[in-house]
Amino acid sequence: MPSRVVRLGVSLEPELLASLDRWVVRRNSPSRSDAIRFLIRKELSESELGDPESDAVGAVMVLYRHTAPSVLRRLTSAQHRWGEHIQAATHFHLRGDACLEVMVLKGKRAEVERAAEDLRGVKGIIQGDYLVGNPTVAGGKTGHRHPHGAGESIGRSPRPTPARAWGGSRQSRGRGPPRPGRAA
């Protein structure tokens, strides 16, 4: 939290102010100022993430049935492909044969997105989604280096996707259509 705060005035239409106030309550913000700071940081993060070389952190969530043939082997293999980027993974057993796995990644935005697409695209994954954020809005950096060499492609090249920032759509997306050259 900054030690010094600069005050400024903002003019809003009454309808926009009413919408902001409703959002402040839904978000459980302590104040309008806190909510506006959040929105500014979110916009700055999304702008910064427009650069594929920007520092990024991400979280990937996948749901699968552990009884599906070879899903654990395939997921482990994909995790090893992205071992330099995956910082942590945790596995939860749900009721029935369902499992949830969450993986935390860091690196350059383009690499984090390729890793996330690869991980959620593993054959046998029923549902997967990811979020990508920029650590600089919290005053951090990933410290990610590139031992794999400049310009070297890592993992598969999945279908391109737009940058997704924290606070964006939180609806989970399914796997989507199979990639060319892959069995469904």
Domain ranges of the chain: 14-48, 55-174
Average pLDDT over residues 92-96: 92
| Predicted confidence band of residue 45 (pLDDT cuts 50, 70, 90) | confident
- Is 179 or 20 the better-scoring residue by pLDDT? 20
CATH of 55-174, one of 3.30.70.1150, 3.90.550.10, 1.10.3720.10, 1.10.600.10: 3.30.70.1150
pLDDT band at 46 (very low <50, low <70, confident <90, very high): confident
Give the percent of the chain with pLDDT over 90.
60
Q: Where are the alpha helices (DSSP H) in the chain?
A: 14-27, 32-48, 71-81, 109-120
181 to each of 156, 158, 177, how far by Cα in Å?
Answer: 12, 11, 12
Whether the pTM exceeds 0.85: the reply is no
CA-based R_g, the chain, Å: 19
